[in-house]
Structure 1
């Protein structure tokens, strides 16, 4: 094999099954690089995609006997969860116009169109299709971050995160995770990537500040700090500046600036209303701050911002409009700084979304004047951007036979940015894509989710979002082609299986079933952060070259490294990874075992008291679950449910 040219080995690899190609990588470094060829894995990803399934369906429909048409139309008239309205109309319709009289040539042409239409990568994007295949098909696992032991007499009580921010390294990978805890402290975890030579951070706690740092309370006043930290409940409440190694934390109406090196308070700025959203702190541009009724620009380099840290509400409303913009409707939830297609320059556009039904567009150069708005009709919970243009529906090669591959390639090569929004429209989830600076948009309000969307983020060649039922869903960049779905409540760590079984055995409602299996029960994902930012300055590798992560050098990034950082509604932080190996093994189970071991030496009275408290807690949980079941049942009476 070593005497054969690379082209011959690549040709042989294309005839192997996926599991054989994976084993083929273990032979030598040269075969490892060849077995991770980008073109090979692009075809493997395409073969299992929805675009290829549609193409095969169209091909089989054209080859079917005419006598089966009536039976086919009768079957498509039946309701089915896997077919969209477009699929049903296409199955009922006639055959597509043939591209050639030669059947073999027509199959090749249609496959080339389907491949070009599906390809998620853009001409200037650096995309690893081997990693894409892993993300689309490998098993999903979650490793939860350990929290510091709370400063309380209850040994089983641990803290919860009230927000999350990340610090990136020079390669745009997450290096540190920064989160405020409910006791008013700040905790930092090491989340650096694993490689073939280094073990990575594996979620170890690097540093923690004293309790009450963000709330201004004594370290022993944990209950008072907990009430302050959890009152507002803002999702975007942390902004980390990599350049200065500082971070901004929103605590009610206070903006606390912390030095991450020393974990000391630098400055405090008070706003007239509770802070509900912070933008990212990047590229030395002012941070945009949203309160219930105003939008502010915060730039500590400007002396005008530090002149008065204490500003009254009346003075703000009736004073100068230089430092703030007034909102006609309350509730901004997400603030986004639009990324420029040219990485060497900064865009001045600011997008604000929230409980109102329009996206507000500000220009930093003319702030606080409102530049324009984009009407959505939905209430948006999260925003993110793709530094690539939105492809209009008219360029869809599968749904529009008159569209050409050349026109699609030209549309992908044009400059632009796609604004992605996770929203709620009439009780259902809405995934919305807006092409900037044009007026193209797409709103998926049919198949996104049955419950409201909470978070959204780009993930390789896909888009991932979460909903109110605890689901994580991956779709293609078109916004509607489903890739896979995962529910975080279905993943139970081995150490938690026995505890989960005990809860399921006792938690029954009026439906005589486990309350944890009912819709709306369990944990949800409030924020999603990819462990690697999308870099637009990298050039896509030429066709036929090996993938990005297949360099035969001694230090290669481990593909089993976590890919997504999750912050849940219960205040947990987890790293989602792919493969049979867990993202990282924490010490929570070890700490619980040590706590139980310490309890052996306790007195009989203390153990009896602890058992009584646990039994009382379980009884109250069952009572609340039954009450929730009754509320759900009564709510649907007379409504046709």
Structure 2
């Protein structure tokens, strides 16, 4: 085998099943390289995709006996009024136009069209298809960070996170630290560096924590007051981390705190006229954009005028300070996005929130409004995607008359696209707005039955979270389904297992006590390979950072092992053994009491909904 050319070995490997291809990689360095051939895993990704399954299904439908046409017509009529020429042909039972009279040639052509239509790397980012296969089919694992505990009035208190940010390591050019403000007013930093052949990874270790009350301005032992201050606004985009200057910006009510992340000391504080609801990213070269409930401001820490002794912001608004601001016609910005520099103009500022349009400001002429993009939905979060918006009319599978050159041409100019997670008339809306061509796609039918909270790109897919605790992955068209995970689908402990039903309608497991958590922010942890040839980064380290509605911080990975490493399990076992019998009994009693109270509140809410619905019936 060692004497065979690589092309021959690859041809042999392609005949193996996926588990056997993975085992071949452990033979030697040569077979590791061949076993991760990009073309090989691209074919495996496509063969196991829903696009190829749909193509084979339609091929079998065309080959069925004509006596089954009535059943086929009934099945084809299910999607509704959005029918293409292909759907109409199936509905009428008429044969499809063939590109070749040879059945084998026809099958090859149809497969090639389906492959071009499915291709996730049309932006030519060169991502790894082996990693793509792992993300699409491997088991999903969740690891949760350990929060620093402290004792208050002879009671051990575990704080929760009120925001999320990530810090990049300048040497490896990858995000290696997680920064979060806690409800006790402190700032904590965890090591989340990726695992490689030369390093064991960060394993979610706590690197440092500032003093309690640093952000809230309360005493260290006054945890209750700090919690009220830190959680009053409830802003999701409340943290901005500058990896160049190692500074963190934290929004607490109407104040913006600048913290030195190396010493965890407060540098400056600026007061704003209204509670801060959103912060933009911070990169050290452009000012941070601050969105309050009714205004938008530019905060530049390099400007000496921005000091703690500056006059009150209320006077600034009335007197007309030279540091201008934009006044919003409708309150409630929730997400602020700076242009990523992919185009010629990198001075754009995009603001979206509870109003139904995305506002575009020009940083050079701020606060002049450059333009708006009407959405109709209320947007919770935005991010940039390098992939363009391809019209549904160019779908090569559903539209056999469309040439493949048209799809290739549409993808050759992707341009920056704003990916938005929104809510439209009570349902989730996944929106793609192409800034170059002006084309828009809004998935308001199959995205989610509840509001979308956060969305981002993840390899060759889009991942978003909704109000039901789901994480859903779709293709870059925003429609084709890949996979789903509900963070509440986990085994219950012995105290939570109860055979009785909850609620009037015998609710599902998602309504059980303690089973209603949601993911309100997703941040990709894009690990890059080490510059040294002797170190190889784990292929499944393109993980996701999660911040839940209950204030928990976690990491989502792929595989059977914990994405934070085995060290977390060892620490949990040591802590469990160190607890006394009285402590475990006390925690169990508190947990059962919390479950009973939550069950009572759920029953009350179900009764209110039931009684309110009685008046709607005729």
Question: Which category of TM-score, normalised to the shorter sequence, fits these structures?
Answer: over 0.9
Q: Which residue of 1 aligns with 2:413?
A: 414
Q: Which residues of 2 match residues 272-311 of structure 1 at below 5 A?
A: 272-282=273-283, 284-306=285-307, 309-311=310-312
Does the 8 Å CA contact 1:195/1:558 hold for their aligned counterparts? Answer: yes
Does the 8 Å CA contact 1:453/1:465 hold for their aligned counterparts? Answer: yes
Equivalent residue in structure 2 for 1:498, among 489, 494, 499: 494
* 3-state SS in 2 of match to 1:31: helix
Distance 1:476 1:15 in 2: 27
Distance 2:35 2:459 in 1: 20
Greater relative contact order: 1 or 2 (C-alpha under 8 angstroms, separation 6 or more)?
Answer: 1
Does the 8 Å CA contact 1:30/1:552 hold for their aligned counterparts? Answer: no
Distance 1:499 1:42 in 2: 46
Distance 2:426 2:177 in 1: 36
1:599 pairs with 2:582: yes
Distance 2:30 2:490 in 1: 37
Does the 8 Å CA contact 2:513/2:595 hold for their aligned counterparts? Answer: no
Distance 2:55 2:460 in 1: 21
* 3-state SS in 1 of match to 2:579: helix
Aligned CA distance change for structure 1 residues 512 and 97 (closer, same or farther; 3 Å): closer
Q: Which residue of 2 aligns with 1:556?
A: 536
Does the 8 Å CA contact 2:502/2:511 hold for their aligned counterparts? Answer: no
TM-score by length of 1: 0.89
Does the 8 Å CA contact 2:389/2:414 hold for their aligned counterparts? Answer: no
1:163 pairs with 2:163: yes
Aligned CA distance change for structure 1 residues 8 and 615 (closer, same or farther; 3 Å): closer
Aligned CA distance change for structure 1 residues 107 and 596 (closer, same or farther; 3 Å): same
Q: How many residues align?
A: 612
Does the 8 Å CA contact 1:390/1:417 hold for their aligned counterparts? Answer: no
Q: Which residue of 1 aligns with 2:555?
A: 575
Q: Which residues of 2 match residues 126-525 of structure 1 at below 5 A?
A: 126-153=126-153, 155-170=155-170, 171-282=172-283, 284-306=285-307, 309-317=310-318, 319-320=320-321, 322-341=323-342, 347-414=346-413, 416-492=415-491, 497-501=493-497, 504=498, 508-512=502-506, 516-517=510-511, 522-525=516-519
Aligned CA distance change for structure 1 residues 410 and 218 (closer, same or farther; 3 Å): same
Unaligned runs of 5+ in 2: none
* 3-state SS in 1 of match to 2:152: coil
Aligned CA distance change for structure 1 residues 164 and 36 (closer, same or farther; 3 Å): same
Bigger shift: residues 483-492 or 397-406: 397-406
Equivalent residue in structure 2 for 1:566, among 518, 521, 546: 546
Q: Which residue of 2 aligns with 1:42?
A: 42
1:532 pairs with 2:526: yes
* 3-state SS in 2 of match to 1:497: coil
Distance 1:24 1:298 in 2: 55
Q: For each residue in 1:317-358, what CA deviation from the matched residue of structure 2 results, as whole angstroms up to 9, or x when unmatched?
A: 45147521000000000000121226xx87111111100000
Aligned CA distance change for structure 1 residues 315 and 169 (closer, same or farther; 3 Å): closer
Q: CA RMSD in A?
A: 2.8
Aligned CA distance change for structure 1 residues 576 and 415 (closer, same or farther; 3 Å): closer
1:58 pairs with 2:58: yes
